[in-house]
Structure 1
Amino acid sequence: MLIKYLCYNSLVISLLFLLNLPRHPCRKQHSHFFLLRSIPGFPSALISSDELYENTVESLQWLVPMDIRQLNIFSPQSSYQINLRYRNSSSVKRYPGFQLWKIHENNIEDKVLRTFWRLFGTEVWNINQDGIDVLIDYKNTAKAKEFIAKTDFTYNIMIDDIETAIDETYTEVNNSNANMPWLDRDSTILNWNRYHDIGDIQQFLQHILETYPDLAEIVQIGVTHHKRPLEVLRISNGNPKNWAVFIDAGMQARDWLSPAALTLAISKLTWLWDNEPSVMHNIDWYFLPVANPDGYQYARITDRLWTKNRYFDSQTGCYGVNLNRNYDYQWGGAGSSENPCKNLFRGPKKFSEPETKAIRTFMHNMREFLGAYVSFGAYGQAIAYPWGDADYVTDNQRKLHNVARRAMLNFRKLNQAEYRVGTSYRLKLARAGNSADWVQQRINPQYVYNVFLKDQGRYGYLMPPHYIVESGEEVYEFMKTIATALN
């Protein structure tokens, strides 16, 4: 067995070494591309040597009982090396001097406010009860202060330097807790002391499958533009009378908190399975921890604030579709953009992306027994339900509101967290073409929610890793609330 293990590891190291051979210093560095033949029904694809290396590591990682990226011969784009020297890479997009401002005004139709963010704001991150969070380019900060001093608005600088805040998201903390043994699992790379890459998350899902073979199943529902698998983990006791609950996270690439929080909740669910009440057993749980793996990994290694997937628009040369604007309900309406270079780009057509197509097909196939759909994301501390395009009500709005309010009170008991409750439109989270509204209209389960995790603008999308555990506990608490409501 030892000889077999050593031979296998030698093979793995040799393959990765060949993919990362150094080039002659006098030779011009060109990207090499390979033509990959996909499975029947999927088109062939060109993939660069760097992406091939990265995908090879991701594919092999779950087979090896050690972190193969800790060896120094591997690319600086590996998870381990990123956390050591990420900021020294020349390929990284940087944000020195950028700031996050909170403008204390909620009326997004105010003409002066709209003029301000058109002139000085790189992007509006969030609208919440405290105001509007606006990302300011370092070249505009002085003029922005002059402009706002002439208005009646007040503001706070929430993040003084975005680059420094980005650095903090790559740190590792000690979140271990003797009362939470599911945080320290053996035989898995994933922990909740830092944010991890796609390969680590896939290895964790494989670990759950192998550790709980009577409960777990992995279903590949599709592949991305870069041929990464979209893997759904099913946890079930096999009772055909169970309701199904589908939970996704990480639809926005720069949101690292929700995938980390959801994987923690999965770890807790399986660890405590034999001791949990029957309401948790009487559910078929379906988890998609990272709904946008291409974008997530790009945010890991190149642009920390990237939010879209990695679709390429040949006419403009711009990349990415905002997946939460690509569903067909009210597609192209308010809160989306037709410009492929904008973060809110809706896509060239409805369901144009492999990620949204895969989710649509999978959920259509489970519509007869789907009891709830929940999408976790960042940020704003809000529990939102349809509709998000206009101020309408659903047939089951009273039920949606009551369960959401129950979850809000449970969060308050858990860690004094304060969450808002209401329709996406009323909470000023309007966005046409989002997944929750599509599920409400087309699938119509009993419960549909977007849950926006921490925080309310202090860190925004750049939550330090010491918030992972309490956010994971909130995800698990919401799961319990939904299970209780369905049972």
Structure 2
Amino acid sequence: MRRRIAAAELGWSSCVGTVVMGALGKTVVLLLVAATAVVCTPFVNDLAPGQEWPARNSVRQPNFGESQTEAVQEEFSTDDPTSEITDDAVIIGKAIQPKTDIQRVDYSGAQIWKVSTEKSGSRAVISRLRRRNLISTWGGNQYSIDILVKSDFVRNVTRVFERENIQYEVVILDLQKNINDENPPLDENELGLQDRRGHRMTWKQYHRLEDIHGFLDYLAKTYPSIATVTTIGKSHEGRDLKVIRLSDGKPTNKAVFIDGGIHAREWISPATVTYFINQFAENFDVESDDIKNIDWYFLPVVNPDGYEYTHTVDRLWRKNRKPYLGTRQCTGTDLNRNFG
């Protein structure tokens, strides 16, 4: 019986995934190592400035056009140390109206801070600021929390921390600048690669879905004896889910399935999967029997709609783009939390 082993979603900074084939004479260890991007992707349920930021580990991700008015609902006690300083900011937030057209989310002026939580009560202050929709929390440990401070509210949050004597460090001064620097456009020489080699993949930048799928098709045409590309389905918005199979076709082969790009904003994941596809395809003839005795299945982008959305609208989008209707429209499902 063929056994499939699926490698989990590739990590955000550096991860090592191990795939072990117990039935083989030798143990095959596949190391998937992803280099840290300029703007890392450990973002947990983080949306654009002007939207509600759910609690850590919340599945909910509001609509792109959702206003702060809907998010600011918590009542604070009179001794809340954040109220006096941030009331004006909340009023500003209430004045922001939802956008009916989809525009690229701009993180200009938004900052990333590392906030010490060693002082008693600091976590409560951070929680109140988050619920007032002035910051989002990205994660942390027992000693500190990383937060995103929205551009309009940097002054207010600074005053709160100074008043409460909460220590913090500005890690990223302008988030949008880091996003821009993360993925510079290809120069003319690199754009000419498609004409000379048949594909544009360089692994020097993060490529769009069209380039990734074009690369898979190129391999199938160049190495027809080992490479086969199959469309296994469509996304909600109608994009292909393309899988490439690398195999010498022996009926005794085991099977390994590797996917990437479950979380839309984790661009390093499809980049890593396509890198391994390229290494396997280009060097299949000289690989060991441990590699050749496996049918390799790769799905580089599990979430093509979300992946494209991070390139065109919101760099920090996490989920897919399927809308759900409830008391209000909510777009997107976290595919990594929906396994039966």
- Shorter-chain TM range is 0.5 to 0.7
Selected match of 1:94 from 97, 106, 110: 106
The alpha carbon displacement at 1:240 in A equals 3.0
How far apart are residue 293 of structure 1 and its match?
Answer: 0.2
Structure 1 counterpart of 2:258: 247
CA distance, structure 2, for counterparts of residue 219 and residue 130 of structure 1 = 48
Amino acid at match of 2:295: D
What's the offset of the Cα at 1:129?
Answer: 8.6
Aligned to 1:289: 300
For the pair 1:115 / 2:128, whether they are aligned, the reply is yes
1:280, 1:150 → 2: CA distance?
Answer: 61
Q: Does the 8 A contact of 1:249 with 1:258 survive in 2?
A: yes
Structure 2 vs 1, CA of residues 170 and 264 (structure 1 numbering), >3 Å: closer, same or farther? same
> Who is 1:319 aligned against?
331
> What residue in structure 1 maps to residue 137 of structure 2?
124
Return closer, same or farther for 1:215/1:121 CA change in 2, 3 Å cut-off.
farther
- How far is the alpha carbon of 1:153 from its aligned partner? 5.0
Greater relative contact order, per chain length (Cα 8 Å cut-off, separation 6+): 2
The answer to which of 193-202 and 151-160 deviates more is: 151-160
For 1:370-389, list aligned pairs within 5 A. Answer: none
Change in Cα spacing, 1:238 to 1:314, as seen in structure 2 (3 Å) is: same
Match of 1:275 among 286, 291, 295: 286
Residue in structure 1 matched with residue 267 of structure 2 by the alignment: 256
Unaligned runs of 5+ residues in structure 2 are: 1-101, 190-194
Question: What amino acid is the match of 1:160?
Answer: L
Tell me the alpha carbon deviations over residues 224-280 of structure 1, each in whole angstroms, 9 at most, x when there is no partner.
Answer: 111111111111222333332221111111221211122112111211222222222
- Structure 1: runs of 5 or more not aligned: 1-89, 177-183, 329-487
Larger deviation, residues 300-309 vs 143-152: 143-152
The percent of aligned pairs where both chains have the same amino acid is 37
Residue 152 of structure 1: CA displacement? 6.7
Aligned to 2:232: 221
Distance 1:246 1:131 in 2: 38
Task: State the AA in 1 paired with 2:146.
Answer: D
2:160 paired residue number: 147
Alignment check: 8 A CA contact 2:227 2:281 kept:
no
SS of equivalent to 2:152: coil
**Pick from 301, 306, 311: which aligns with 1:300?**
311
Query: Aligned letter for 1:114?
Result: S
Mapping 1:326-405, distance limit 5 Å: 326-328=338-340
Structure 2 residue 222 is matched with structure 1 residue 211? yes
Question: What is the deviation of 1:191?
Answer: 2.1
Question: Offset of 1:151 from its aligned partner?
Answer: 5.1
Deviation of residue 156 (structure 1)?
A: 2.5
Change (3 A) 1:121 1:250: farther
Matched length: 233
Instruction: Render the CA deviation track for 1:98-139: whole Å, top value 9, x for unaligned.
Output: 1122234599x9544433443455433344698433222112
Change (3 A) 1:130 1:188: farther
Give the 3 Å change call, closer, same or farther, for CA 165–130 of structure 1 in structure 2. Answer: farther
**CA–CA separation in structure 2 for the residues paired with 1:161 and 1:272:** 42
**Counterparts of 2:325 and 2:270 in 1: how far apart (Å)?**
31
Superposed CA RMSD in Å reads: 3.3
Which amino acid counterpart does residue 223 of structure 2 have in structure 1? Y
**1:162 paired to 2:175:** yes
User: Aligned partners of 2:228 and 2:141: how far apart in 1?
Assistant: 38
